[in-house]
Amino acid sequence: MTAQLRKFLNQLGDTFWLVPGVMVLGGILLALGLLAVDRQDILPTWLIENNWLYNGGGTGARTLLGAIASSTIGVAGTVFSITIAALSLAAGQMGPRLLRNFTQDRGVQLTLGVYLGTFSYALMVLRSVRTQEEGAFTPHLALSVGIIFAFICVAILVYFVSHMANRINVDTVVELVSDDIRWAMDRLVTDQAQATAPDASFWANATPIVDARRGYLQQLSEEELAGWAAEQGTAIRLLVRRGDYVFPGAPIAVMTVQVPDAEAAVRRATALGLTRGSAGDAEYAVRQLVEVAVRALSPGINDPHTAMSVLDRLGAALCELAGKNLPSGVTLHEEQVALVVPNFTYESLVDVMFNMIRQNAAGSTAVLIRMLDVLTAVVACEADVPRRAVLMRHANLVWTDAQRTILNLSDRDDVGQRFALFMRTMAHGALGAINARPLSQPALQESPATSHNRAAP
């Protein structure tokens, strides 16, 4: 599947109107089908006269269908207004980039689709009703189904009120975004060993490939581009990754052997968009979650509990990543390097998760304590030495910031005790940390980073 086709399918799936539009079309087609059955006059008399089927006349049918159509379109307008109000609230409190999660909400789309589909169905049936003076045609089956749709609309209204009340809950939003992170990670991580990227000398005589387009890289067909490079006897190294902005006239890639039409091949294998965010962009999902925490820590909102909830989800994502390999971005063709795509590393991912939250949580004892608790839980799960070193660096940064920004000595000691627990877990593991000898008080006064800075001239 080409990058452009993937982009189109993703955009089609993300559109707000797709589900309501399909349901409106379905309501029209269902009305035409049931009207055709009623016109065939194949329903037995006992069924038409049954109390469960509409058996009134044309005037009553028009009144009934008119009431259904007017009420459903009115409630559809109310549903739309409530949705806009919820979007405004979410944009102000949690960030405008999270609006995409609301517009993609299938519950809202289904609600609007049910009301608009019922409205379209009622209109199509209403146009076919004839009184005695006009030819006496009353579609009993279609009218009975319309009554059923009216009761469904009542149930959908109750569902929608409950759904929106739960949807604007910040914990629900945090959980939904963390699901996006988990889904993106599951698509990227693997238990298999990854090929090692060639060193810088491999690209010493590489030729740049310039792209005249602009926008965020949303889709990349790695198999297509790697296959083309192998056929041409060259190797390509992209200089941007998913989510990066492509600047017009700037090199987008380099190739070891200059090949004609290389720029066209790169254009075919990539798709740009006006906004960042695509399937598989785990770092973008992480940034969305971090934005919720940063906004919660702003003086205007001052909600540290939301920031701590975000930290819990980020820690869970890192624990699920333990023991799994991140993609190296190297694609081999017959044991030869064909394509190298830059990818995020464990260190860059952890930096994105914690740096902005820590910087905005300066002086917040509760958030800094929670960050150390999360790092302690993650380091207990992670056995990889380089990854543990990354977690250690962030724990040092938290303790350094606490020493610098927390003036209350009692609060500072609380953070110090959590940092000491992290150090014991780092050295002895989760079980060993329970029985290990606590760190001495002088060890809590200065983190390794602080000591290093003091020793520097």
Write down the pTM of the prediction: 0.77
pLDDT digits (tens, 9 = 90+) for 308-331: 999 999 999 999 998 888 888 888
Q: How far apart are CA 148 and CA 27, in angstroms?
A: 13
Of residues 220 and 25, more confidently modeled: 25
Residue 128, pLDDT > 60, answer: yes
Which is it for strands 336-340 and 236-238: parallel, antiparallel or unpaired? parallel
* Residue 306 near residue 364, CB atoms below 8 Å: no
- Report the range of poorest mean pLDDT among 206-210, 264-268, 273-277: 273-277
Ranges of beta strands (E only) in 335-427 are 336-340
Mean pLDDT for the chain overall: 83
Domain ranges for the chain, please list them: 14-168, 361-457
Q: Which pair of structure tokens corresponds to residue 187? A: 């698509």
Q: How far apart are CA 438 and CA 61, in angstroms?
A: 81
pLDDT of residue 413: 92
pLDDT digits (tens, 9 = 90+) for 99-112: 666 677 788 889 99
Buried b (16+ CB within 10 A) or exposed e, 420-439: bbbbbbbeeeeeebeebeeb
Residue 235, pLDDT > 80, answer: yes
Q: Which pair of structure tokens corresponds to residue 202? A: 């491999």
Q: How far apart are CA 323 and CA 332, in angstroms?
A: 24
Alpha carbon of residue 401 to chain centroid: 31
Of residues 184 and 136, more confidently modeled: 184
